[in-house]
Amino acid sequence: MFKFLSGRSGSRSRTSSPLGKKGIKMTIDIPSYGGVFMTQLRVDGDDGQGPTFVDRELSGELEIWLPKGYGKRRCRAIRMKLRNVARLNMGPGRGWEEDCLFERSTEIKGAIVLEEGLQSVNMLLHAEIEGLHAPPATQSVITAFSPMGSRTASPVATPRRGRSPVGGVSTNSSSANGSAANSVHMPDDDGIEAPVPNAIQPSMTVTWSEPVTHTDDEVQWVKGTLSTSRTVTLLYNPEPSNGVSKLDEGRSGDVPGLGAFNFHFTSDTWTVCAVLRINLSIPCPAPATTIYFARVLLEQRTDMISPRDDPDFAEPIINKTNFLIWEKGIRPPPQRPTRDTPALWRGTEAQGFDIGGLTTSGVGRLPNDETGRPSTLEGIITPIKVRHQLIAEVWYSVYGEDVAGNPLDTPGQGQLRMLRVEKPVIVPSCAFIPDVVELPSYESHAFDTDPCPVCKLRPEDQACRTCMLSSVPHPRHDLDPTRFPEGVCPRCEKKFITDDITGKWADCACGLSLQQLESRMGAILLDDGPSPPPSGTQTPMKGEAERERERGRQR
């Protein structure tokens, strides 16, 4: 379901250790291809306590592979760590700053024996995702350590663990910069610490040891430190059930000259790079009014504060970017328009022939994830906060009047005015499209029923059933080593690796064409033409107005 988050090597991030191709290899597997859902926090208005902070759990496993003939190896510790680092450009005076926002880890300490073949370490981290720290009663634990790919029993010295009780875990706390003043402590059994949502918390490490049962001459030690990494992606979704977000918003009002106006924005799949339908209705503009141009922008604002600064007193670095979503007509020059300036609608008292109202609609698309960013949800503590708003603008003039509505010294086309309407919106991540979030129908997929021509296994027997259920789907790795050195069928393995030829995410809104997104919105007019006017409004007369619009297009 989440193959859009997979790396170029497939759903599993494989990073070889420094020992090379023939040495120990390690792989980190995380459910949902490393995607962590950032949902909208519920606000309790009755008790006045503000947002309810939700516990964040990150589960996964570390796979350790020793090639055949390598022999057993012993290591002193296995550590799983979740680390969040912010690297910010604070301007010419300060330059680049890199800070560790938080660090959470769990560790096995002791003489751990690694067998030939594949073995896994399951872990569960209660992650403080961007400042949302876990409840004090929760613990980060390693739930199992077990060899895989072999039918033989495990050696006595191989540790096997269940969930460790609270009393059996020792906790060491330290801040990211080594200061003891910001350390985090686990609460006593009889008390509960209140969460502190306004501060980015430092690290916490949970460790324990087991007795050594092997001597030095039995198993060789692993030399050096082997490491691998896996990127964790945060996915923002304001939809409470983690489903598909929809947009159905409007802005209306009344201004001199234009009269009543109404903007309506709709999208049945509202994300980064979504398709947006815009409807503009001005039912009764004044006869002396000329409407030249209309457009809709998406304003993206980022507020950046360094973790080293006090958020209560520091001035954020603000950056605003406007993305053009839709436009209609030709934008007039800044100076006073003339009779020959192309217009969408020109009233009878403005040397035109249009009567009745103006109704138009169109389709636009939000920027993709190369420039567009999802909105930061309320309650998230992060150095960079992103906010969005839709901006609708209409350029018009009133014959014989200046911008303030006062008469001009010389009769003629009025001075140029602009109507500006703002609508704040929350933009979810581009990942939350129906193809990813919603389960597909069985009728839409053709399943292979023939056995694999290489390993001769039927499709229902090709997937691994020995690893934890939360791990990403992968082929079984316990095949005959005489035929398959790594225990994996190369043909079956390809079924579990997503195609990433272009290096782009294919299963998100950014990877879909405009036609594919428009097909989901049956009510959208694909030709960007004007919609039929609503009942009760007059249709503008054909004539000089149409000729002006046509002349403007040719220019």
Per-residue three-class SS string for 426-480: CCCCCCCCHHHHCCCCHHHCCCCCCCCCCCCCCHHHCECCCCCCCCCCCECCCCC
Same domain for 413 and 331, yes or no, is yes
β 358-365/233-237 pair status: unpaired
d(CA 530, CA 148): 64
* Cα→Cα distances 26→16, 425, 439, Å: 6, 43, 32
d(CA 397, CA 415): 6
Structural domain contains residue 472 = no
* Cα→Cα distances 447→1, 440, 458, 476, Å: 16, 13, 12, 19
Q: Residue 535: its pLDDT value, please?
A: 36
Structural domain contains residue 22 = no
Residue with tokens 């609460």: 187
* Cα→Cα distances 452→447, 459, 527, Å: 13, 7, 48
Residues 6+ apart with CB under 8 A from 387: 300, 301, 302, 303, 375, 376, 424
Structural domain contains residue 16 = no
The Cβ of residue 159 has, within 10 Å, a number of other Cβ atoms equal to 20
Structural domain contains residue 478 = no
Same domain for 408 and 532, yes or no, is yes
Domain total of the chain: 2
Burial class (CB in 10 A: 0-12, 13-18, 19+), 125: buried
Give the H or E element holding residue 553: helix 544-554
Check: CB of residue 344 under 8 Å from CB of residue 395.
no
* Residue 398 belongs to domain spanning: 247-427+525-554
Burial class (CB in 10 A: 0-12, 13-18, 19+), 64: buried
Give the H or E element holding residue 545: helix 544-554
Same domain for 222 and 252, yes or no, is no
d(CA 4, CA 506): 6
Same domain for 211 and 257, yes or no, is no
Same domain for 200 and 279, yes or no, is no
Residues 6+ apart with CB under 8 A from 521: 266, 267, 268, 275, 277
Number of helices (H) and strands (E) in the chain: give both, helices first: 4, 23
Instruction: Count the residues in the chain.
Output: 555
Same domain for 177 and 278, yes or no, is no
Structural domain contains residue 468 = no
Structural domain contains residue 55 = yes
Same domain for 291 and 402, yes or no, is yes
Same domain for 257 and 367, yes or no, is yes
Q: Residue 514: its pLDDT value, please?
A: 73
Structural domain contains residue 366 = yes
Q: Residue 358: its pLDDT value, please?
A: 93
Q: Please give the order of strands across the beta sheet that includes 13-16.
A: 13-16, 25-29, 57-66, 117-126, 141-148
pTM for the model stands at 0.65
| Mean pLDDT of each 10-residue bin along the chain, 555 residues long | 35 40 79 70 53 65 86 88 87 89 82 84 65 46 50 33 32 34 35 39 47 60 87 80 87 92 93 93 93 96 92 89 95 86 92 90 90 87 92 94 88 91 92 74 62 89 74 79 87 66 55 71 46 38 42 39
Structural domain contains residue 340 = yes
**Per residue, what are the HEC states of 101-135?**
EEEEEEEEEEEEEECCEEEEEEEEEECCECCECCC
Same domain for 177 and 45, yes or no, is yes
Same domain for 94 and 158, yes or no, is yes
CATH code of residue 370: 2.60.40.640
Check: CB of residue 264 under 8 Å from CB of residue 279.
yes
Same domain for 213 and 274, yes or no, is no
What are the beta bridge partners of residue 89? 96
Check: CB of residue 391 under 8 Å from CB of residue 325.
no
Strand positions, DSSP E, 127-222: 141-148, 170-174, 203-209, 220-221
Same domain for 312 and 392, yes or no, is yes
CA angle 214, 217, 220 (to 5 degrees): 80
